[in-house]
Amino acid sequence: MSQAIDTGASVNRREFVACLLDACPDALVVTGLGSPTYDVFAAGDSDRYFYLWGAMGGTTTLALGLALAQPSRPVLVITGDGEQLMGIGGLATVAAQRPANLSIVVLDNGHYGETGMQRSHSSLGTRLVDVARGFGIEQAHEVRAMEEVDALAESINARAGLRFVQVRIKTEEVPRALPSRDGVHLKNRFRKALGYSTI
């Protein structure tokens, strides 16, 4: 059996997400299935947040469309390693389009938190930062400390180029904070926040 790799993870996921969102007050946020959604909601709900319930692997491509449609707004993906691994091919399309206002933040604990904490490929040798660079995302790096939040937020707010950030979070269970699961409600309030009519 493959051995898990020690990633030196030390970042508290809830603290990191709360600080990042607080520092990016104008960002349009798309969250991945499971714990990233709980983390964002726990930091405080907003009509600028689109919780992508049940569409595992879809955050990056949905956010790409949003970034292309809203070039004057920073667009921020907050997802997990398992969700990003499922939608890994979307990074190739993102890299080809290269929207300067899109930032993809992957909270990586090396486990599938929603299905029993089985190890994901990122704890078995897959380096998501290297994968992103291989697709052509030049601004791809790891975050291993809370002190890096401010610089990351500054680049997100400035829409300073497409970026991929792998945050090495602690492997820990935190209480679930559940936003609405009403897809129509979430869609309509997000459209309203963007100035569009609801359907």
2 domain-assigned: no
Q: How many domains does the chain have?
A: 1
* Segments forming the whole domain that contains residue 66: 13-193
115 domain-assigned: yes
Per-residue pLDDT of the chain (199 residues; tens, 9 = 90+): 455 445 566 899 999 999 999 999 999 999 998 889 999 999 999 999 999 887 888 999 999 999 999 999 999 999 998 889 889 999 999 999 999 999 999 998 765 556 555 666 555 567 899 999 999 999 999 999 999 999 999 999 999 999 999 999 877 778 889 999 999 999 999 999 999 987 6
199 domain-assigned: no
Bridge partners, residue 31, by sequence:
51, 78
Question: Residue 179 sits in a domain of what CATH number?
Answer: 3.40.50.970
8 domain-assigned: no
Give the per-residue SS3 of 97-152: HCCCCEEEEEEECCEECCCCCEECHHHCCCCHHHHHHHHCCCEEEEECCHHHHHHH
